[in-house]
């Protein structure tokens, strides 16, 4: 009996500690696992564990000093040249405020980088007027998951603006020295989500397509058929087209979910001509 009583006393003596431990555990977790709140927490935890991890876009970290230079000029450019002309997409406005346009022009032109005009960048090419860059970017309706194809890299500025918003930008430049210099500038500024290729943009970049958006920055007499093929269903393409009288206009092409194209004239413009295959007479389907 003594042994039994002693054993009972030991168990009884441990009960307060056991109860206290359970109470502390309940207080630490905040809710009982069997309560409605506890079940909700467990379900939420399970959902969090099962949900796929969202990959962040490869947008630049803006560590290069150029991003901190001439900030006030960029803000004034956006306000006076872009917002007042009707561009309203917040992501486009923020991209235009962020990208240092002066880093994409030759040193002799940098004093004019934020003026309301295109600038000469060599090789008979120009960097587009800021408003046109913003207008065309807004027309594409980019989001952080978009993949973009650009025809005519030029300085790399338009690609950088798109890359501030989109996940990936693939851009093609037929003038090899410009393709090389744009690659260098974009890399220096930290645009790891822009990929430059020297080549004829007429044929697009089929191994990287199809694309959510395609933008052309040189005028042709027709829309190259390979670009139409590389545009996703639901995608949008904007580019300048020149008529028989030498007049240019931006056209916006949309491809619906059935693969049908819809075209709309949106703005009269003046771009440098597209060169390469597009200048040759039509000779059947391109491969």
Active-site residue, 128 included: yes
Structural contact between residues 168 and 142, judged by C-beta atoms closer than 8 angstroms: no
Interacting residues of 204 by C-beta distance below 8 A, sequence separation 6+: 149, 151, 172, 214, 224, 226, 227, 229, 230
Backbone φ, ψ for residue 238 (5° rounding): -130, 135
User: Distance (Å, rounded) from C-alpha 120 to C-alpha 46?
Assistant: 57
Which residue among 14, 32, 35, 128 is the active-site one?
Answer: 128
Q: Which residues are catalytic?
A: 128
């Amino acid at each position: 009996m003594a042994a039994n009583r002693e054993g009972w006393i030991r168990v009884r003596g441990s009960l307060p500690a056991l109860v206290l431990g359970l109470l502390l555990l309940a207080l630490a977790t905040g809710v009982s696992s069997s309560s409605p709140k506890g079940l909700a927490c467990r379900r939420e935890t399970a959902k969090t564990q099962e949900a796929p991890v969202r990959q962040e876009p490869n947008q630049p970290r803006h560590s290069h000093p150029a991003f901190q230079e001439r900030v006030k000029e960029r803000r004034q450019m956006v306000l006076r040249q872009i917002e007042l002309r009707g561009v309203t997409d917040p992501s486009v406005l923020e991209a235009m405020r962020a990208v240092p346009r002066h880093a994409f022009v030759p040193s002799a032109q940098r004093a004019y980088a934020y003026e309301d005009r295109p600038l000469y960048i060599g090789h008979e090419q120009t960097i587009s007027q800021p408003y046109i860059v913003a207008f065309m970017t807004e027309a594409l309706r980019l989001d952080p998951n978009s993949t973009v194809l650009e025809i005519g890299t030029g300085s790399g500025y338009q690609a950088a603006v798109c890359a501030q918003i989109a996940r990936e930008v693939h851009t093609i430049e037929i003038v090899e020295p410009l393709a090389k210099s744009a690659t260098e500038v974009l890399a220096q500024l930290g645009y790891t989500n822009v990929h430059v290729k020297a080549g004829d943009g007429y044929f697009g970049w089929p191994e990287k397509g199809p694309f959510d958006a395609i933008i052309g920055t040189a005028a042709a007499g027709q829309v190259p058929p390979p670009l139409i093929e590389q545009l996703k269903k639901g995608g949008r393409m904007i580019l300048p087209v020149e008529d028989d009288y030498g007049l240019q206009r931006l056209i916006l092409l949309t491809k619906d979910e059935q693969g049908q194209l819809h075209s709309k004239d949106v703005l009269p413009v003046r771009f440098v001509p597209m060169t390469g295959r597009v200048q040759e007479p039509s000779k059947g389907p391109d491969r």
